[in-house]
Structure formats: structure tokens, C-alpha cells
Chain A
Amino acid sequence: MRGFLKIALAISGAAFAVTLAASIAVTARLRSDIAARPTKPGDDALFHLIAIVPSSDAGRYYARALESMGRAARKAGAALQPLTYAQGDAPESIARLLILAAELEPDGVIVSAPLAPLVVGAVDALAAAGIPVVALESDLPGSARAAFVGTNPYSIGALAATAVAESFPNGAEVALVLSRDFADGSPRGASIAAGFNYGARDRHDIRLAMTRTTREGPSASEEIVRELLAERGDISVAVFIGARDAEGAARALIEYNKVGELSIIGFDDDPTLLELVQLGVVAASIARSPERSGEDAVLAAMTLARGGRTSAYIDPGLRVIRRGGSDR
């Protein structure tokens, strides 16, 4: 009995001491959590940048660009605050964000918005308030933006023609399918078409036979694929300038079991699209670099915020992704 009691005393005493020490530690941890300020001294930034970009997009171009902008801003000692809008929002909404940005007194604004008078006016108001504005991917000609960082549409077209030429040595009738960002008839759409023709200037067997813009909404790319297959048997290659459109067209081909009857040149480097490239459903993809674009935009904005000068046009470049590799 006495032995049992001694063991019980030793074990329970040790257990009590251990649990007491652990309880003290847990309580201290809880208290330190309470005492901790939501923001730590190391969180303070020297500059304040605002990025106005779409909240979501095919290929996660802007999401990746935002991540890159955040890293670059932090590296430069600036806090990047995103103000996002939904793709398809009216220019009024985007202009409102720009007005809000002006009221927040940032050191610089990076904006990717469709060209619209309200947007241009809001950009001008920002510039008038002494806040430098850098346009990202979607230029705002005629506004007081200080710089444009984005892919040259002309280069997109030229590189697409090169990709077609290399993928189809026997020539091809090409359909150019533009997304709404590069709508047919718009300056960007025209630049792409012009670039394509320039890129295919030495290949007379490659001809831009038609240009289309996908409509807003689901099944838009499938409709175009069906139309091409049914009505335009002369078209052998479709170049989609839009990641979602390219993926949708590829899926439609697989569904119709028409892979090979119509070849597709895709856009950007979304993992799904890359997989389709590897499967051979998509012949090649013209890929932008959102990381490079975001970093260049931040560097431009920071240069301007510090009172420096920067190039008005900054092109982060393109690359062609093919099965087995890629090149610029």
C-alpha cells in the first residue's frame, strides 16, 4: 500500500508540475497573442502603390501579375494595395476605383482597364493630383498615364504567324479569333492582325483568311469551332488570342472527335492549356509573362514615384510554347 502511494505521489506530482508548466506556457502564449499588435513594426512600408486590375481572368494572368507586383513592391519598400473589379464591369465602376485611388493619396497607381473616356478622365485626375499612373497590359492612349507596361499586340500577331509557319510547313488558311480584350476592329485587334500578316509575309502559303471576336458568355469558342468545321473547311488553323477561348476550342475538338481536322494555336501558359499542348490537341501557344509585366510595372511606378523618368512603353516580351519546349 505504502509503495503504491509513493508511486502515486511521485507520478501525480510530476504530472501536476508538467501540466502546470505547460499551462503557464499556453497562458503566456495566449497573453502574448493578445498583446501583439495587428501590425508589427516590420510591416511599415515607405511607399504606397495601388493596383487596379480585374479580379479574375482566363489563365490567371492578372492574379499572377498581382503576385509578382506584390513581391516587387515589397522589394522596393512599397506596399501594394490591389483594388479589383470584375471583367466586364462598366467603365463607371473602374473610374470610381480610380477616383477612390486618388482620394487614398498613394505614391503611384498601376491600372489595367479598357479604354473609355471615364477611365481616361479619372487617370487624368490622378495625374493632375501628382500621382503617377502606369497602364498595365491594356494601354490608355490619350490619357495622362506616365507609362505603359504590356505586350505589344503587333508582336503577338507576328509571333502567332511565326508559330503557324513553323508548325505547318505546308501552309495554312488561318482564322484569327480575338477575345474581347483584343476585339476585332479595335486598335489592339488591328495591330494583332497587322502583326500576323507581317510575320507571315515570307510565307505565301499562310494566309489570314478570317478574323473573329468571341462573344461574351459560355460556349463562345465552341460556336466558333463548330462554325469553322461546318462552314469553313478551308480553314486549317485557328489562332485564339485568349487563354479561355483556346482551351474551350480544344475541348470542343476533343468532344467532336475532330482533333487534327482543325489545328489550334493557343494563348498564354495556363497549365490546362500546356497540358493540351503536350497532348497535341493544341499545336502551340503564344504566351505572355505576367510575372515580368507585374515586376516591370512596379519598377516603372516606383521610378516615377521617386521623381525619376521611365520609358513610356515597356514590353515584357512573348514566347512560343510547343510540345517539348518553348522559345521567345
Chain B
Amino acid sequence: MRRRLLSSFRSRLVAAGIAPIILMGVAAAFDSAISATNQKRVSQLFSLDLFMEETLSSVDAVVENLAVYIDTKNSDALRACMHHTKALSEKVGALSGGASYSEDAMLERNLAVLTRRMIAESEAAIRARRGRNIPEYGARYQKVRLLASFIHDRADALSLERLKLNLDAFATLDEQSGRAAALLGAMLASAMIFAAAVVSTFSLKLTDPLDALAAAAVRISEGDFSGGPLSAYGDDEIGQTAEAFNVMQASVEANIEEIKNKAAVEASLMEERLKNLEMEGHLRSAELKALQSRINPHFLFNTLNTGIQLATVEDADRTRVFLERLAGLMRYSFRDLDAPVALRDELACLRDYVYLMRIRFSDSMTFEIAAEPGAESAALPKMIVQPLVENSIRHGFADKPSGARVRVSARIDGGDLVVTIEDNGSGLLEGRAKEILDAADEGRELGNAEGGLGMANVIARLRLFAGRQDVVEFRDANPGTLIVLRVPFKEAF
């Protein structure tokens, strides 16, 4: 397809720059042409004056040198006379020779005739002088003088006539020059206005798209892509730039969308990482508490083993079983808190603890532990159930020396492991459940934990394990308290 003239912005800029120059150049050319014409005209007006001056000088020179020659026969005078005679002959050839209705042409004819006659008389006088014909050369010389005076008269008349003509011509020239000057001024003014309008138009055509581009760039820099693509600006550089800008805008918009998605993913990951860090914090806290209770475990285990062996030697079976259960409970508690355990392990630990509690508090307490088949294999953070039971014993039965009963059960319910700890103790004080949950939310422990792992810590670890908040529920069992733990069921390894 053929490209349109001035289709590129560069060519338009060049045109906008060259157009004023061309217009001014045209005006200057006409100014120059008119000036040259006027100069030629003025020169023409005065050319005849110059011609007449030269002719009359030659006429006078002929008369003067002829007189000298006739008087003295001076060769130089003769040479000068002949030279000027020849010059006069050449000049006569330039003069009008025929009759004319034009007065100045008639005067030219007069000059031509008189000059030719004077030349002829001058040459005749020279010949007569050479022939020593005194009467003739005298008469010829007088005739030459008379003709010279006639030539002067006619030249004066011609000059006067030409002056009249020249005055008319000069008036015409002056009028036409004035008209030309006015036209030139008008041409220059219109050229300047035209040039200014051309430049302004091109400037607007340049700056309007650029302004739109700049506004779009600012809008995009502020993250606003609602403006849509720029409209078409033709196939020039601005149009190409707008097209490239639209491509860039689409690209930037897509990149920003991608970055947003990545940021969302990273935020999710960061949240997960924070959760893990929080879990680690709770674990560290639990571990710290555990370590506080670990007083030289090797010494304690060795001592307990020694006690077991002593009980065995002394046939003190109750003591041996007691020590074995205590050792088992302590061994379980010293295991790594990070690794989840099976519910059966947790319940075994609980049985050890219950056994010890029964020995300690005789059989005044009734413990029931029941777990549905399959529930015991569920994964659970370590030391979850035991602290809760311990808490029931410690707080629920402080004022109940007999008839205390604690029941722990576990079941699978809709994909969740549900563990309930129910006691018939004094129940929770009003607002105590909320305090416990708030403490778990804030990651702090309640002040009356009194050794072991506090309920807030238990709840916090359980939440982190389950990945949700609703892992524990405190209910009034009337009498007593029912604690329901609910975590997603996961098979323990």
C-alpha cells in the first residue's frame, strides 16, 4: 500500500519547518525580483542621459581636435579627431533613423542625421586641409561648428523630452513600486500568519497525543488501568508510540495481576510459617515447663530402677508396680513434645497417672477410660488429656474427698476425633472457661497453673495441631464439668 504523503511525524515536522522557509523565500525572491526590476528600470531611465553625455563629449572632441588639426596639422589631434569620429559613427548606429510620430524618436533621428552630416563635414574638412584648400576647409570647419551647435540644441531638446517621459515613467514606476511594496508586505504578513498557523497546528497535533500519553502514563503509574487502551492516532510515530503504549499497558496490567497472585500465595505461605513459628513457640514453652520438672531424669530413672529392683528383691509387688507406673509416666512425659502421639499412648500415660492418683488418694476416685475401636490410633499432640484430667482432679475435687468420678472417652465423629473429659466436681467458676480461652488466644498461661502444663497451653497446641480454633468446648455437666476436645482425625504413625 502506498504511504500517504506526510504520514510520518518526522516528515510533518520537516514540512512544518520548511513551509515557512519556502513562503519567506518566495516573498524574498519577489522582493529581490522587484528590486532588480526597479533598479533596471531606473538604470534605463538614465541610460540615455549617459549616452547623450558621451555623444556630446565626442562631438566637442571632434570640433576641438579638428580645430587644432586645421591650425597646426597636429597628428595627435588628427588621430583624436578620427577616434572620436569613429566613436560617433558607432553611437549614431544606436539611434533611431526613420521618421516617427514619437517626438523623442524624431529627436533621435535629428541627432543621427546631424551627427552623420557633421562626421561627413569633418572628414571633408580634413581632406581639404590635406589638399591645402584654405577656403574649403575653412567653410567646412564652420559647418562642423554649426552642426555641433545644432547637435547640442537637439540633444538638449531630446533630454528635455526624455525628462518629461522619464518623469511620467518614474511616476508610473513609483506607483508600481509602491503597489509592489504593499503587495510584498501583505504577502509577508500572510506568509507569517500562515507559517505560524502551520507550526501551531503541527504543535497541537504533536502535543495532544503526547498529553494523552502522559496522562495515561500517570494514571497507570497510580495503578489505574480503567482508562483502557489509547485511541488510534494514525500510522505516524505518535500512533506507533500509542500502539506500543497500549501493548505496554496490557503487559504491565498482566504483570501486576501476576504479582498480586504471587503476593497472595506468599502471604498464605507467610501465614503458614507464622503459624508454625507460633506452634514452635508453644512447644518451646511446653518444653521449658517440662524441663523445669525434669530434675536430672537419668538420676531419677536410675533411682526408680533401683527402687524397682529393691521392691522385687523384697517381694514388695505393689511398690514395684507403683514405681514401674511412675517410671512409665515420667518416661512418657520426657518424650519429645514436637512429635504427635497415638491416642492409645496418651491414654496409657493417663492410666499410669490414674493409677498413681488412686494410690495417692486411695480408691475414693473413680476413673473410667473408654475409647472406641479405631479412635486409639488417632494422632494427637502429647500431654493433652493428662493435664486436663489433672486439672479436674486438682480443682474439681478439692472440696470433694469422696465420690469423685472422672470419665474419659474417645470416639470418631464425622472425620473428627472427639475426646471428652467429664467429672462430677465443683464445676468451673462463672467466666473461667472464657478466661482460659482468652489466655489461649493471647498465647499466655493463667497464673494458677501450679506446675505441669496449663490448660491454655494445651488448647493452644491443640489449635495449632488441628489448624482451627474450635478445638475445645467447656460444658456444665451439673454437677461437674464436661470438656469436649475435637480435632481432625489423623492416623498416627
Chain A residues engaging chain B, CB cutoff 8 angstroms? 1-2, 5-6, 8-9, 11-13, 15-16, 19-20, 22-24, 26-27, 29-31, 33-34, 38-40, 43-48, 74, 78-79, 81, 99-100, 103-105
A23 to B180, CA, bound (A): 6
Contact A30 B176 (CB under 8 A): yes
Identify the closest chain A residue to B40 (Cβ): A34
CB neighbours of B184 from chain A (8 A): 19, 23
A104 to B113, CA, bound (A): 6
**Closest 9 A/B residue pairs (Cβ):** A15-B190, A12-B194, A12-B193, A19-B187, A48-B99, A45-B99, A39-B105, A16-B190, A8-B197
Contact B34 A16 (CB under 8 A): no
CB neighbours of A2 from chain B (8 A): 201, 204
The distance from the CB of B290 to the nearest CB of chain A, in whole angstroms, is 84
CB neighbours of B204 from chain A (8 A): 1-2, 5
Contact B34 A30 (CB under 8 A): yes
Q: Is B37 on the interface with A (CB-CB < 8 A)?
A: yes
CB neighbours of A81 from chain B (8 A): 103, 106, 110
CB neighbours of B33 from chain A (8 A): 27
CB neighbours of B96 from chain A (8 A): 39
- Given contacts A23-B34, A38-B105, is CB(A103)–CB(B150) below 8 Å? yes
Q: Is B359 on the interface with A (CB-CB < 8 A)?
A: no
Contact mask for chain B residues 180-204; partner A; CB cutoff 8 A; 1 contact, 0 none = 1001101101110110111011001
CB neighbours of A44 from chain B (8 A): 98-101
Contact A16 B194 (CB under 8 A): yes
- Given contacts A44-B100, A104-B113, is CB(A13)–CB(B183) below 8 Å? no
Contact partner, B106, options A5, A22, A33, A79, Cβ 8 Å: A79
CB neighbours of B194 from chain A (8 A): 8-9, 12-13, 16
Q: Is B172 on the interface with A (CB-CB < 8 A)?
A: yes
CB neighbours of A30 from chain B (8 A): 34, 37-38, 41, 173, 176, 180
A100 to B118, CA, bound (A): 12
- Given contacts A9-B197, A31-B37, A100-B153, is CB(A43)–CB(B190) below 8 Å? no
List residues 110-134 of chain B with CB under 8 A from any CB of chain A.
110, 113-114, 117
Contact B99 A38 (CB under 8 A): no
Identify the closest chain B residue to A24 (Cβ): B30
Q: Is B218 on the interface with A (CB-CB < 8 A)?
A: no
A104 to B146, CA, bound (A): 13
Contact A23 B187 (CB under 8 A): yes
A195 to B209, CA, bound (A): 109
Known: A2-B204, A19-B190. 4 other contacts (CB 8 A): A20-B26, A24-B30, A38-B102, A103-B114
- Given contacts A8-B197, A19-B183, A38-B104, is CB(A103)–CB(B117) below 8 Å? yes
* Central interface residue in B101, B176, B194, by most chain A CB within 10 Å: B101
Number of B residues, CB within 8 Å of A: 51
Contact B34 A20 (CB under 8 A): no
Contact A16 B113 (CB under 8 A): no
* Central interface residue in A16, A74, A99, by most chain B CB within 10 Å: A16
A81 to B101, CA, bound (A): 9
List residues 197-220 of chain B with CB under 8 A from any CB of chain A.
197-198, 200-201, 204
Contact A26 B100 (CB under 8 A): no
Contact partner, B113, options A5, A22, A27, A103, Cβ 8 Å: A103
Contact B201 A79 (CB under 8 A): no
- Given contacts A5-B200, A23-B184, is CB(A99)–CB(B191) below 8 Å? no
A152 to B268, CA, bound (A): 145
Q: Is B44 on the interface with A (CB-CB < 8 A)?
A: yes
Contact partner, B110, options A1, A33, A34, A104, Cβ 8 Å: A104
CB neighbours of A12 from chain B (8 A): 190-191, 193-194, 197
Q: Is B147 on the interface with A (CB-CB < 8 A)?
A: yes
Contact A38 B41 (CB under 8 A): no
Contact partner, B193, options A8, A39, A45, Cβ 8 Å: A8
A275 to B97, CA, bound (A): 47
Identify the closest chain A residue to B169 (Cβ): A33
The distance from the CB of A45 to the nearest CB of chain B, in whole angstroms, is 4
Identify the closest chain B residue to A20 (Cβ): B187
Identify the closest chain B residue to A42 (Cβ): B101
- Given contacts A46-B99, A79-B106, is CB(A19)–CB(B34) below 8 Å? no
- Of the A-B pairs whose beta carbons lie under 8 Å apart in the complex, a sample of 14, sorted by A's number, is A2-B201, A8-B193, A13-B190, A16-B194, A20-B26, A27-B34, A30-B38, A34-B40, A45-B101, A48-B106, A81-B106, A99-B146, A104-B109, A104-B114
Q: Is B259 on the interface with A (CB-CB < 8 A)?
A: no
Q: Is B316 on the interface with A (CB-CB < 8 A)?
A: no
The distance from the CB of B325 to the nearest CB of chain A, in whole angstroms, is 100
Contact B187 A103 (CB under 8 A): no
CB neighbours of A15 from chain B (8 A): 186, 189-190, 193
Contact partner, B197, options A5, A39, A105, Cβ 8 Å: A5
A9 to B16, CA, bound (A): 13
Q: Is B23 on the interface with A (CB-CB < 8 A)?
A: yes
CB neighbours of B335 from chain A (8 A): none
A31 to B187, CA, bound (A): 20
- Given contacts A8-B193, A23-B34, A27-B34, is CB(A105)–CB(B99) below 8 Å? no
Contact A39 B37 (CB under 8 A): no
- Given contacts A30-B176, A39-B96, A44-B100, is CB(A16)–CB(B197) below 8 Å? no
CB neighbours of A104 from chain B (8 A): 109-110, 113-114
Identify the closest chain B residue to A2 (Cβ): B204
CB neighbours of B100 from chain A (8 A): 39, 43-45, 79
Contact B150 A26 (CB under 8 A): no
A81 to B114, CA, bound (A): 15
Contact mask for chain B residues 142-157; partner A; CB cutoff 8 A; 1 contact, 0 none = 0000110010010000
